[in-house]
Amino acid sequence: MTTEDYKKISSEIPNEPGVYRFLDRKEVIIYVGKAKNLKKRLTSYFGDKKYMPHKTKALVKNATRFEYTVVDSEHDALLLENTFIKKFQPRYNVMLKDGKTYTYIVVKKERFPRVFFTRRVYKDGSQYFGPYTSKYSANILLEIIKKLFKLRTCNLNLSEKNIEGGKFTVCLEYHIKNCMAPCVAFESEDEYNEKIKQIVNILKGQIKPVNDYLKAQIERCSEKLEFEEAQEFKVKLDLLTDYQSKSQVVNTSIKDSDVFAIRMEEGSAYVSYLKIINGSLINGDNLELKMNLNDKLDDLLVFSIQYLREKYNSISPEVILAKKVKLIDDVQITVPQRGDKKHLLDLAEKNLKYFILQCKKDKMNKTRKQSSSERILSTMKEDLQMEEVPFHIECFDNSNLQGTNPVSSCVVFKNAKPAKSDYRKFNIKTVVGPDDFASMKEVVLRRYSRLVKEKQSLPQLIIIDGGKGQLNAAYEILKSLGLETKITLIGIAKRLEEIYFPGDPVPLYINKKSESLKLIQQLRNEAHRFAITFHRDQRSKNALGTELTNIKGIGEATATALLQHYGSVIKMKEVGFEDVEVNFSKSIAMKLEDYFLWGEEE
């Protein structure tokens, strides 16, 4: 993606927090990032590249476009960024996955697992959560976990043998502040593992099961009249609720839901989708639908809901919309007027607004950028009475001098522009003497039999630089390959610029001022130039050859050195084996001896 491409859409990017994704030409997400200000952050990728890191340059070079999701706060952006990184594993986020630079929270695989920070990831069966780009934010999360659940922090080997053997001496003051003393069996392994299970839920963003667990503990303690312990669990529940209330992206008051917003503008319908699982926003997508005359907005919304739910394998029992519609699926439709669900609907509407602006900008840029080429190619389609617009055109020309060094060229234009990387040169291999018809047959056969074999794209139009004879020769080959109905074939005669079609003796005369004729002439001239240049190169290469280059093992460089030293081939024949061995090498002397038969002359 170039700086010019970015400038065309930069005015539509919001100055709001969010998460952005860079995608390559295969529509694969290659990088995920968060931003306090999306516009400023994305602009930084397309500024002065002089001081830009190499990795960033490579990212921008390999990206063809980007997309973004707007959220309400930088905190929300951090949570959503982590979700996307885990889900898509972008290759340019490799620094986030190598365990050396960023922070992870690990749940250690051991008896009575510990939970702590780490910067290294080991394949030891432990569970690693992250990476966290901000250790400050991760530290807040870990502190909340420590306040909710007392866990051991010591590095003791708590095997059954050590615990049952009374190997450890409990320090009550230490354990009251930190853990429940599993080392001396003051806490059972089942109770400890249940806490670990809830911690893993928190680290995965699945807060609802933790809420349910704490509420169950409050009820259990209340039934046993253990009110002080019940109050401790109530404080922990309030702490967790307070933490989650700060985020729109993760909210325990919302179950699994799909959020949709739709709007119609200028003959198109636009849809924004947010997928909520266990209170977490885990994915989002946008659609643009072209409307027909009889399409209704509600019908398009129903279609989009079914399509996106199937695409993202959603089985959420609730769909949040701005209005009621009839769905085939057995789901609950919610039309919120206020509260957290209304806030999520507003968030979808906000993303939809920016998506529409971006789509409109893309359409304007595309029209402005391709209008000239499309106009010329559309005119050519009408002039040549073709069924398809010729976005891909190829032109052939032969070149030889009295039958020597016969060559041919093939130039390729795509979208009315030269595609020089697709140009091809041909040395004529099967034709002896100046036979342009046979030469044309050979190169057309070699070119299109290979394209068919390799299943590459075929041109819509082929131009032959020559008269009826060469045109008919090329047509015979296309017919033998079964391509005569798939590709339009024409020939252009140089004298009056007539256009000939195979089997039609009457030429077509295109207006001399026509843009399509000028493009045909440009292709013909380019093919002629390319063929002449190649022919000259071949003649020059052969003219530089000497008798010495006919000797096996003697290349041009060695032949030049020998001629510079001895002056001529005749003098070289007279010097003999020893002189060449002294001045050059024994290997060269032996090659010359075999050729000049020095031993037999003696």
**Domain contains 399:** yes
Kindly report the average pLDDT of the chain as a whole number: 80
**Domain contains 205:** no
- Same-domain status, 506 and 572: no
Instruction: Check: CB of residue 559 under 8 Å from CB of residue 451.
Output: no
Total domains, the chain: 4
- Same-domain status, 555 and 487: no
Q: How far apart are CA 410 and CA 419, in angstroms?
A: 11
pLDDT at 544: 44
Close Cβ partners of 521 (under 8 Å, ≥ 6 residues apart) = 492, 497
- Same-domain status, 561 and 508: no
**Domain contains 223:** no
- Same-domain status, 471 and 588: no
CATH number for 91: 3.40.1440.10
**Domain contains 139:** no
**Domain contains 438:** yes
- Same-domain status, 528 and 400: yes
Instruction: Check: CB of residue 482 under 8 Å from CB of residue 345.
Output: no
Of 534, 568, 591, which residue is a domain's last? 534
**Domain contains 88:** yes
Q: What pLDDT digit, counting tens, does each position of 484-527 carry? A: 989 999 999 876 788 989 888 778 888 888 888 999 999 999 99
CATH number for 316: 3.30.70
- Same-domain status, 486 and 578: no
- Same-domain status, 561 and 518: no
Q: What pLDDT digit, counting tens, does each position of 39-95 carry? A: 999 999 987 766 677 778 888 888 999 999 998 887 778 778 877 877 788 888 744
Share of the chain above pLDDT 70, in %: 83
264 has which bridge partners?
269
| Side-chain half-sphere CA neighbours of 272 within 13 A | 22
Of 96, 124, 145, which residue is a domain's last? 96
Averaged pLDDT, 220-240: 81
pLDDT at 441: 92
- Residue 279: pLDDT over 70: no
Q: How far apart are CA 510 and CA 496, in angstroms?
A: 10
- Same-domain status, 339 and 396: no
- Same-domain status, 530 and 396: yes
Q: What pLDDT digit, counting tens, does each position of 165-178 carry? A: 555 555 554 555 56
- Same-domain status, 529 and 574: no
pLDDT at 311: 76
- Same-domain status, 400 and 510: yes
Averaged pLDDT, 134-163: 70
Instruction: Check: CB of residue 421 under 8 Å from CB of residue 499.
Output: no
Q: How far apart are CA 188 and CA 171, in angstroms?
A: 18
pLDDT band at 601 (very low <50, low <70, confident <90, very high): very low
**Domain contains 182:** no
**Domain contains 561:** yes
pTM for the model: 0.37
Q: What pLDDT digit, counting tens, does each position of 177-213 carry? A: 567 777 777 778 888 888 888 888 777 766 777 778 8
Domain of residue 554, residue span? 547-601
Averaged pLDDT, 439-464: 92
Q: Of all residues in the chain, what percent are helix, strand and coil, respectively (each to 5)? A: 50, 20, 30
pLDDT at 295: 67
- Same-domain status, 476 and 349: no
Q: What pLDDT digit, counting tens, does each position of 287-337 carry? A: 888 776 566 788 888 888 888 887 777 888 899 999 888 876 678 899 999
Close Cβ partners of 309 (under 8 Å, ≥ 6 residues apart) = 258, 316, 329
Of 476, 511, 534, which residue is a domain's last? 534
